[in-house]
Amino acid sequence: MSQHDERSDGPRDNDADVTTRTVTIFQGGARSVRAHEVEIKQGGAMRVDADEVEITQGGIGFARTGSAEITAGGVGVVAASGEVELEASAAQIVIGRSEVTLEQSAAAIVAASTAEISHSAVGVLLARHVDARDVRVLFNVPAALAFGAAAGAVLWMLGHWRR
């Protein structure tokens, strides 16, 4: 069952589309949430559009936000104009215009102006400034370019071989 903030004028059932100022989802879910502040505890949402997002033991498929704080949760894609902080969490793609902080987390792709990463794993990291401690990065920029060139050459050869 989904529990929304008292100020919410939206529906109060699972798989709801919610539009309001403040939304709190506790042990429930929503299809789409549009609000100023969104807090999800042990729940989830498919799509969130908010100024501030806070997730604790929950998940979001796609979040467009000003800032996000995810603790022990999961996110498919986070696109933020401000700061993004993941702690003991996982994300597929994290895009932050300013700073992205990962602590004991994992992300497939991280793109930000500044990345502060500790005790985490990142597949592809694109950042102007990186402060890293005990980090496993699969592809930095030179490695990603080399991989892309090699993959392109192999695909080109396979394309000519098929003809």
Quick check: is 10 in a domain?
A: no
Residues of the chain with pLDDT under 50: 1-13
- Sequence-ordered list of residues with C-beta below 8 angstroms from that of 93, at least 6 positions apart, any chain: 76, 77, 78, 107, 108, 109, 111
The two beta strands, 16-19 and 29-41, are parallel
Three state DSSP letters for 42-98: CCEEEEEEEEEEEEECCEEEEEEEEEEEEECCEEEEEEECCCEEEECCEEEEEEEEE
Residue 99 CB coordination number (10 Å) = 19
Q: How far apart are CA 63 and CA 93, in angstroms?
A: 10
- Domain, as residue range, for 107: 16-162
pLDDT value of residue 163: 67
Q: What is the pTM of this model?
A: 0.74
Quick check: is 5 in a domain?
A: no
Count of structural domains within the chain: 1
pLDDT value of residue 119: 94
Residues 112 and 100: beta-carbon distance below 8 Å: yes
Quick check: is 6 in a domain?
A: no
pLDDT value of residue 17: 65
Token pair of 103 as six digits: 């602590």
pLDDT value of residue 10: 44
pLDDT value of residue 9: 43
Quick check: is 91 in a domain?
A: yes
Q: How far apart are CA 42 and CA 29, in angstroms?
A: 9
Residues 22 and 6: beta-carbon distance below 8 Å: no
Quick check: is 7 in a domain?
A: no
Quick check: is 141 in a domain?
A: yes
Quick check: is 9 in a domain?
A: no
